[in-house]
């Protein structure tokens, strides 16, 4: 368990971090970055796994299964799509440097 | 320290490592040079955290560990297969709706965590007791996650073309408001009485509200909405992370929530709209018809357009989403190469919201092989239109409409545009005479220096290439 007070600090510091790391992003990276941050909240998978792992009733197992299914889709899909977008940036970068 | 305590420390250490890798990964993704390694760093963090979770005490020490782990592996397996194949197969033009889909899944997952925690506390408080703060955050996270889930699915369906662009009825905002208030009311009731019926009602109303909230929003505004739901999912994940006492979820979720909010504001700003404007106003349906434009649209044949290009020294190409839909970006790049071969200066001018998301057009041009240094942002290229001989507009409409600067009554008044009209000659490649996304007549098309080349994007580019070669062989020797 995390105490409410410590959690509040965590929220605050993480919010500033999120704001800071992308405050000077060129427009061309908005789409990949949105996709990339979409991947990062795929960490919800871990939470869903624990919810399913703690399930004591069938209802909870069903909900947990849905949660894990959706969370894994978020993580895997988010990664694949972002990787594909950024792959193209790399090749165009190379050509630009020629 | 005994072995199992050590293992739990290792699990939590892996969450810490994952959180660090996520932050560094997003940081690297915010610069074009390091972007590619950024997603890989974040990916490593995800794999580490996921594997470690199988050894989490709550899972390992549970009497039903075998069944639950089997279910887990099954769910991850099926979902991975689906997401991997769909993510690999999708065309670059359809990327925005896939982001919406995967994002919605994340929101749904966060809502499921909330549902599981609330139902657990309601039915078996001896196993799953929750404090008041935990219930409150579980409820808020579940509400936001549910909205993000169904809202993103609607956004996906709209962009995929499965659903009419807009869906409106009288008093819609009142109805939506009532739904939102009932969701809040039911959520608040859970603080005082954790009851399964109320939990179910709360989720039903929340999920429905996500649908209702997204239905009236038009396709042009979807990028902002997707970005907003992305931030929503982040927040939902963070809140459910608190409920579970999981620091990785709190940090990753909050970082994405904050970054996503900022991104959403940047996008809305690029479209000259506020977020509340996107969510609660009916774009294009108010305003009453825009003012009539004097003059007529003047067509041009491919042969004449080609000779204009042949004579030009500097050509600026303005691509819009219509070009991507026609899959013409490869042909347009071929045309550009033909022009470059003839010593013309060619540049691509990108409006911040060209495509379906900011930066989407850059991705599409990059896919066609257009080098980075030929692509210019709006602010850099706008002064150059005055010195350019021919500007080719292909599949773009509202973002080059000069009424955004001149006509105060226009719904797009004040939206930043590309000053294509300042070019000596403008050629607009367009399939027909229809208006753009916003449903507004384009004054550019009626301008004296503008000619319309009515054709499909690919076909137009093909004909221009052929005509250019024709001029070469006729006059070149």
Residue of B nearest to A18 (CA): B255
Contact B369 A44 (CB under 8 A): no
Chain A hits for B255, Cβ within 8 Å: 14-15, 17-18, 21, 37, 40
User: Given CA atoms B173, B178, B180, B181 in this order, what sign does their dihedral have?
Assistant: positive
**B164 to chain A, minimum CA–CA distance in Å?**
25
Q: What angle separates helix B457-475 from helix B302-311, to the nearest 10 degrees?
A: 60
Residue of A nearest to B259 (CA): A18
Query: Percent of chain A having pLDDT more than 70?
Result: 89
* Average pLDDT of span A74-96: 76
Contact B15 A46 (CB under 8 A): yes
CB burial class (10 A; 0-12, 13-18, 19+) of residue B432?
exposed
* CATH 3.40.50.1220 domain extents, chain B: 302-473
Contact B357 A30 (CB under 8 A): yes
In 3D space, the residue among B84, B76, B78 whose CA is nearest the CA of residue B102 turns out to be B84
Chain A hits for B123, Cβ within 8 Å: 57, 59
**CATH architecture of the domain formed by B302-473:** 3-Layer(aba) Sandwich (3.40)
Task: Give the Cβ contact number of residue B448 at 10 Å.
Answer: 9
Chain A hits for B67, Cβ within 8 Å: 61
Rounded to the nearest angstrom, the gap between the alpha carbon of residue B421 and the centroid of all alpha carbons in its chain is: 29
Q: Where are the beta strands (DSSP E) in B332-394?
A: 345-350, 375-377, 390-394
**Chain A interface mutation, best of B40, B109, B227, B230, highest count of A Cβ atoms under 10 Å:** B109
* Parallel/antiparallel/unpaired status of strands B450-454 and B425-430: parallel
Give the C-alpha separation, B437 to B247, whole Å: 43
Give the C-alpha separation, A52 to B13, whole Å: 21
The answer to whether the CB of B200 falls within 8 A of the CB of B208 is no
Contact B250 A26 (CB under 8 A): no
Chain B hits for A78, Cβ within 8 Å: 99, 102-103, 106
B79-136 pLDDT per residue, tens:
999 999 999 999 888 888 899 999 999 999 999 999 999 999 998 887 778 888 999 9
Q: What angle separates helix A44-53 from helix B247-270, to the nearest 10 degrees?
A: 140
Q: pTM score > 0.90 for this model? A: no
**Please, where are the H alpha helices in B56-171?**
57-60, 65-89, 95-123, 132-159
pLDDT at B288: 40
Q: Is B195 a catalytic residue?
A: no
**Chain B interface mutation, best of A42, A57, A83, A89, highest count of B Cβ atoms under 10 Å:** A42
Q: Which of A27, A61, A73 shows the shortest C-beta gap to B358?
A: A27
Number of inter-chain CB pairs under 8 A, A vs B: 397
pLDDT at A95: 44
**Higher per-residue confidence, A22 vs B66:** B66
Chain B hits for A66, Cβ within 8 Å: 75, 108, 112
List the pLDDT tens digit at each of the 477 positions of chain B: 688 889 999 999 999 999 999 999 999 988 877 888 999 999 999 999 999 999 998 898 888 899 999 999 999 999 999 999 999 999 888 888 899 999 999 999 999 999 999 999 998 887 778 888 999 999 999 999 999 999 999 999 988 888 766 677 777 888 889 999 999 999 999 999 889 999 999 999 999 999 999 988 877 778 889 999 999 999 999 999 999 999 999 999 999 999 999 988 887 877 777 788 777 765 444 444 445 566 788 888 888 899 999 999 999 999 987 888 788 889 999 999 999 999 999 999 988 777 767 677 888 888 888 887 888 888 889 999 999 999 999 988 888 888 888 887 777 777 788 999 999 999 999 887 766 555 677 888 888 899 999 888 888 999 999 998 888 787 654
In 3D space, the residue among B250, B146, B137 whose CA is nearest the CA of residue B190 turns out to be B137
Catalytic residue, chosen from B2, B195, B398, B407, is B398
Give the C-alpha separation, B250 to B27, whole Å: 18
Chain A hits for B110, Cβ within 8 Å: 44, 47
ipTM of the complex as predicted:
0.91
In 3D space, the residue among B214, B220, B182 whose CA is nearest the CA of residue B201 turns out to be B182
Helix (H) or strand (E) run with residue B453 in it: strand B450-454
Give the C-alpha separation, B228 to B267, whole Å: 10
Contact A54 B62 (CB under 8 A): yes
**Chain B interface mutation, best of A8, A43, A93, highest count of B Cβ atoms under 10 Å:** A43
Burial letters B281-309, b for 16+ CB under 10 A, else e: bebbeebeebeebeeebeebebeebbbbb
* Backbone φ and ψ of B56, nearest 5°: -65, 140
**A78 to chain B, minimum CA–CA distance in Å?**
6
């Amino acid at each position: 368990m995390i105490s409410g007070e410590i959690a509040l600090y965590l929220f605050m510091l993480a919010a500033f971090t999120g704001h800071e790391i992308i405050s000077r992003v060129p427009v061309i990276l908005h789409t990949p970055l949105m996709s990339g941050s979409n991947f990062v909240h795929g960490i919800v998978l871990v939470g869903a796994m624990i919810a399913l792992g703690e399930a004591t009733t069938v209802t909870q197992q069903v909900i947990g299964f849905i949660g894990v299914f959706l969370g894994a889709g978020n993580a895997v899909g988010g990664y694949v799509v972002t990787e594909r977008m950024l792959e193209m940036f790399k090749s165009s970068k190379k050509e630009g440097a020629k | 320290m005994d072995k199992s305590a050590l293992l739990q420390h290792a699990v939590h250490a892996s969450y810490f490592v994952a959180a660090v890798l996520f932050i560094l990964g997003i940081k690297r993704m915010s610069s074009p040079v390091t972007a590619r390694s950024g997603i890989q760093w974040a990916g490593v963090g995800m794999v580490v955290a996921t594997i470690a979770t199988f050894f989490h005490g709550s899972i390992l020490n549970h009497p039903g560990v075998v069944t639950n782990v089997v279910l887990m592996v099954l769910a991850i397996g099926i979902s991975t297969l689906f997401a991997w194949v769909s993510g690999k197969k999708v065309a670059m033009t359809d990327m925005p709706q896939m982001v919406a889909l995967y994002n919605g899944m994340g929101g749904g997952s966060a809502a499921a965590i909330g549902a599981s925690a609330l139902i657990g506390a309601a039915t078996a408080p001896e196993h799953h007791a929750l404090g008041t703060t935990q219930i409150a955050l579980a409820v808020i996270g579940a509400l936001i996650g549910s909205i993000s889930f169904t809202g993103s699915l609607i956004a996906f369906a709209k962009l995929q073309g499965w659903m009419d662009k807009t869906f409106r009825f009288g008093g819609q905002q009142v109805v939506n408001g009532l739904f939102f208030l009932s969701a809040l009311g039911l959520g608040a009731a859970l603080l005082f009485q954790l009851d399964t019926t109320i939990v179910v009602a709360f989720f039903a109303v929340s999920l429905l509200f996500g649908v209702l909230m997204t239905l009236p929003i038009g396709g042009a505004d979807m990028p902002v909405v997707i970005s907003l739901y992305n931030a929503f999912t982040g927040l939902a994940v963070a809140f459910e992370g608190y409920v579970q006492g999981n620091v990785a979820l709190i940090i990753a979720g909050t970082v994405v929530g904050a970054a996503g909010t900022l991104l959403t504001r940047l996008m809305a700003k690029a479209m000259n709209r506020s977020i509340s404007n996107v969510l609660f106003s009916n774009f294009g349906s108010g305003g009453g018809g825009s003012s009539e434009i004097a003059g007529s649209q003047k067509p041009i044949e491919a042969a004449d357009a080609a000779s204009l290009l042949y004579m030009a020294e500097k050509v600026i190409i303005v691509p819009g989403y219509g070009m991507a839909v026609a899959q013409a970006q490869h042909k347009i790049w071929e045309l550009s190469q033909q022009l470059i071969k003839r010593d013309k200066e060619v540049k691509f001018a990108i409006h911040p919201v060209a495509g379906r998301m900011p930066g989407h057009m850059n991705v599409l041009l990059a896919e066609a092989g257009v080098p980075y240094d030929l692509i210019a942002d709006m602010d850099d290229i706008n002064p150059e239109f005055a010195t350019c001989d021919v500007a080719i507009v292909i599949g773009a409409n509202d973002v080059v409409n000069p009424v955004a600067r001149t006509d105060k009554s226009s719904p797009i008044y004040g939206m930043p545009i590309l000053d294509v009209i300042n070019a000596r000659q403008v050629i607009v490649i367009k399939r027909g005479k229809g208006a753009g996304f916003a449903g507004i007549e384009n004054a550019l098309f009626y301008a004296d220096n503008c000619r319309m080349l009515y054709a499909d994007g690919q076909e137009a580019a093909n004909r221009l290439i052929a005509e250019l070669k024709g001029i070469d062989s006729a006059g070149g020797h």
